[in-house]
Amino acid sequence: MYDFVTALWTTLRARIEALRREPEAGYSTETVLVTALLVVAALAVIAILVTKITAKANGINL
Protein backbone atom coordinates (compact mmCIF):
# COMPACT_ATOMS: atom_id res chain seq x y z
CA MET A 1 0.00 0.00 0.00
CA TYR A 2 2.82 2.38 0.85
CA ASP A 3 4.42 1.89 -2.59
CA PHE A 4 1.13 2.73 -4.26
CA VAL A 5 0.76 5.96 -2.28
CA THR A 6 4.36 6.91 -3.00
CA ALA A 7 3.92 6.26 -6.72
CA LEU A 8 0.65 8.20 -6.76
CA TRP A 9 2.22 11.15 -4.94
CA THR A 10 5.23 11.15 -7.29
CA THR A 11 2.98 11.07 -10.35
CA LEU A 12 0.82 13.88 -8.97
CA ARG A 13 3.85 16.06 -8.28
CA ALA A 14 5.16 15.43 -11.80
CA ARG A 15 1.79 16.44 -13.33
CA ILE A 16 1.66 19.61 -11.24
CA GLU A 17 5.18 20.51 -12.27
CA ALA A 18 4.29 19.95 -15.94
CA LEU A 19 1.26 22.24 -15.58
CA ARG A 20 3.40 24.91 -13.98
CA ARG A 21 5.77 24.84 -16.94
CA GLU A 22 2.90 25.19 -19.41
CA PRO A 23 -0.15 26.79 -17.74
CA GLU A 24 -2.42 26.36 -20.77
CA ALA A 25 -2.02 22.56 -20.70
CA GLY A 26 -4.94 22.06 -18.31
CA TYR A 27 -7.32 24.31 -20.23
CA SER A 28 -8.81 21.56 -22.38
CA THR A 29 -9.45 19.39 -19.32
CA GLU A 30 -11.23 22.28 -17.63
CA THR A 31 -13.32 22.87 -20.74
CA VAL A 32 -14.32 19.22 -20.94
CA LEU A 33 -15.28 19.21 -17.25
CA VAL A 34 -17.40 22.36 -17.53
CA THR A 35 -19.08 21.04 -20.68
CA ALA A 36 -19.86 17.73 -18.96
CA LEU A 37 -21.37 19.55 -15.98
CA LEU A 38 -23.53 21.67 -18.30
CA VAL A 39 -24.74 18.53 -20.10
CA VAL A 40 -25.65 16.90 -16.78
CA ALA A 41 -27.51 20.05 -15.71
CA ALA A 42 -29.39 20.18 -19.03
CA LEU A 43 -30.40 16.52 -18.73
CA ALA A 44 -31.66 17.15 -15.20
CA VAL A 45 -33.76 20.11 -16.38
CA ILE A 46 -35.17 18.07 -19.26
CA ALA A 47 -36.05 15.21 -16.90
CA ILE A 48 -37.85 17.61 -14.55
CA LEU A 49 -39.77 19.18 -17.44
CA VAL A 50 -40.80 15.83 -18.86
CA THR A 51 -42.02 14.69 -15.44
CA LYS A 52 -44.06 17.86 -14.88
CA ILE A 53 -45.53 17.87 -18.41
CA THR A 54 -46.45 14.18 -18.17
CA ALA A 55 -48.13 14.72 -14.79
CA LYS A 56 -50.04 17.72 -16.17
CA ALA A 57 -51.11 15.75 -19.28
CA ASN A 58 -52.28 12.83 -17.16
CA GLY A 59 -54.37 15.23 -15.08
CA ILE A 60 -56.44 16.41 -18.06
CA ASN A 61 -59.96 14.96 -18.08
CA LEU A 62 -61.25 14.17 -21.53
DSSP string of the chain, one letter each residue: -HHHHHHHHHHHHHHHHHHHHSGGGGHHHHHHHHHHHHHHHHHHHHHHHHHHHHHHHHT---
The whole-number pLDDT of residue 58 equals: 93
Average pLDDT over residues 44-57: 96
Distance between CA 10 and CA 4 in Å, rounded?
10
Average pLDDT over residues 46-54: 97
Q: Tens of pLDDT along 1-39? A: 668 889 888 998 988 888 778 767 666 778 888 999 999
Q: Domain map of the chain by residue range?
A: 2-58
